[in-house]
Amino acid sequence: MKLIKELALAGTKNGKITVGIVEEPYGKESASIASIAISLSAKNTEPDWKIHLPKENIDEVIAALTEAKKEL
């Protein structure tokens, strides 16, 4: 995975949000995706949650997150 950014996860002592790019995530010649992983503890070797977003869905997800932020 190509690391884009790592952020502190609010509300945790040492959790993190990791954003990156995964090339060929589903096998040879599959399209690259954006990956968002959340770890509740920096000690975790695997994230507690992760999502894979195709490039074509990123703008819609950003818009939905912006709407969700307004509701928080």
pLDDT, residue 40, reads 95
pTM of the model: 0.89
Identity at 45, one-letter amino acid code: T
Nearest-5° angle of CA 43, CA 58, CA 55?
95
* Distance, CA of 68 to chain centre: 17
Query: Token digits for 43?
Result: 């000690």
Q: Which domain holds residue 40?
A: 2-71
What Å distances lie between residue 44 and 13, 57, 68, CA to CA? 13, 28, 28
pLDDT, residue 11, reads 95
CB 7 within 8 A of CB 16: yes
pLDDT, residue 10, reads 96
* pLDDT band per the 50, 70, 90 thresholds, residue 26: very high
Domain tally, the chain: 1
